[in-house]
Amino acid sequence: MGSTCVVGLQWGDEAKGKIVDLLCDDHDVVVRYQGGANAGHTVVHEGVTYKLSLVPTGILRSHVHAVIANGVVIHPPALLKEVAALEAQGVSFQGRLHIGDRAHVILPYHLEEERLTEESSSAADHLGTTRRGIGPCYKDKVGRVHGVRIADLYRPAELREKLKRIVDFKNRLLAAMLPDFEPFDAAAVAEEYLEHAEALRPYICDATAKLHECLDAGKKLMFEGAQGSLLDVDHGSYPYVTSSSSSAVGTAPGSGVPARYIDRWIGVVKAYTTRVGGGPFPTEQDNEVGERIRRVGREYGTVTGRPRRCGWFDAVATGYSARVSGSTEIAVMLLDVLSGIDELNVAVSYERRGETVRTLPASLADLEECRPVYETLPGWKEDVTAARTWDDLPKAARDYVEFLGKKVGVPASIVSVGPDRNQTIRVPKAL
């Protein structure tokens, strides 16, 4: 008990990184349990910006241990680059980063496999992924025949043999499908990854055992979700999702820590909605409102730099993901971005072929036919970035936050009014 899970309830980029960083004061270990370098978590502290992708956000706090658990897919060059960049910013990894030896490894052919679908002449094949090799690596993991795990990198003879077999298979497949494909040299790939393995050696461990040791010692863990619940492979807007369990249901399979140890389940939401990549987005505002939100909220992807699609808050989709993720509270982020908009719309149900829909339909075609039914709330003119207490917020802003909590089905406990750690408001318990 005493552990916390922080997940996004929308389509990612809800500012999970800021919340994880904020709550580090009360936690000893931060755990990434799924996803990979497709994540981009930003933390701003005293004007300095830190960008984290594979490394758990907790690494920024010197008392915290950071664990990359078995459910994560790891691209060693990306991880080493990130470690070097953070070290250059003064972050110390000494004895504090732990990488699970059961985690799967992203290899160069995964990136080519992703290029194959993302650049296919059939638009139906494009998902608008981050092109970090995530989907192909998870496919190999679940397919079992071609999966390579971190532990495999420390058995050189077997690794060379294994890669010979896999690379031969992948080369034949990719050469047949990609006209400009340059075949991989299995031996060269093996040598490159053996070198990465040496660089990563100090961090490798049995992550599940490590986490259970921490629990036995009474340490408090924080599970840092990547992506968002609506991108969950089982529960999201399939097939426009990521390849992992990115809702809170992923904590146990990804870490080996049963959910019963977690008693605080924080669902992070933006005060509006964004989405990057393809897929349905009922409340999208491809107009002046959407452009304003993009401009004020600087809504461009951390990983790929792509402009994020922007729209109104969707309490149908978010209510659904709060139920799936078992949220006990929500953190409402980027509230400041809505200042100056006269009226704010919130989708409270959908209408489809004359019928009211109150949850997310499974079929993409059904979801695309859903039209949001909005409730309109008054906006506020004031800049709220300097607000530090609930009472500092204009009444319309407080009413808006309260309304979101009611419609999502769990109360707001935290409100964020700017990227910095101190631009945060704790909502009084009485709400």
Q: Which residues bind ligand GDP (CB under 6 A)?
A: 8, 13-18, 40-42, 44, 297, 302, 333-334, 336-337, 416-419
Q: Which of 13, 152, 232, 314 is catalytic?
A: 13
Q: Is residue 134 near ligand IMO by the rule CB under 6 A?
A: yes
d(CA 105, CA 76): 7
The distance of closest approach from Cβ of residue 339 to ligand GDP in the complex, given in angstroms and rounded to an integer, is 10
**What ranges make up the beta strands (E) of 54-107?**
65-68, 73-74, 97-100, 104-105
**Which tokens go with 282?**
């009922």
Distance between CA atoms of 184 and 161, rounded to whole angstroms?
Answer: 15
Closest CA to 7 of 28, 42, 34, 26: 34
What residues numbered 224-263 form the site for ligand IMO, per CB under 6 A?
A: 226-228, 231, 242-243
- Residue placing its CB nearer to ligand IMO in the complex, 364 or 396: 364
Contacted by 3, from ligand GDP, ligand IMO, Mg ion, none: CB < 5 to 8 Å by type: none
27: annotated active-site residue: no
| Pairwise CA distance, residues 193 & 358, whole Å | 49
Q: Which is nearer to ligand IMO, 11 or 320 (CB)?
A: 11
Separation of alpha carbons 273 and 13, rounded Å: 10
Closest CA to 322 of 265, 375, 283, 273: 265
Q: Report, in Å, the least distance between residue 356 CB and ligand GDP.
A: 31
**According to CB under 6 A, which one of 86, 127, 215, 331 is a site residue for ligand IMO?**
127
Q: Measured between alpha carbons, how far is 421 from 370 in angstroms, rounded to an integer?
A: 38
Which C-beta is closer to ligand IMO: that of 32 or that of 65?
32
* 8 A C-beta contact, residue 33 and residue 254: yes
Is residue 227 within 8 A of residue 41, CB to CB? The reply is no
Could you tell me the smallest distance in angstroms from the CB atom of residue 324 to ligand IMO?
Answer: 16
Active site residue 41: yes
- Dist. CA 314–CA 187, nearest whole Å: 50
Q: Which of 27, 28, 41, 75 is catalytic?
A: 41
Tokens 């002046």 belong to residue: 288
Residue 13 interacting with Mg ion (CB under 5 A):
yes
Select 127 or 415, whichever has its Cβ closest to ligand IMO. 127
User: What are the distances in angstroms from CA 127 to CA 122, 131, 245?
Assistant: 11, 10, 17
Query: Taking CB within 5 to 8 Å according to partner kind, which of ligand GDP, ligand IMO, Mg ion, none is near residue 416?
Result: ligand GDP
Binding site for Mg ion (CB under 5 A): 13, 40, 302
Catalytic residue IDs: 13, 41
Which residues contact ligand IMO (rule: CB under 6 A)?
Answer: 8, 11-13, 38-41, 127-130, 132, 134-135, 226-228, 231, 242-243, 276-277, 302
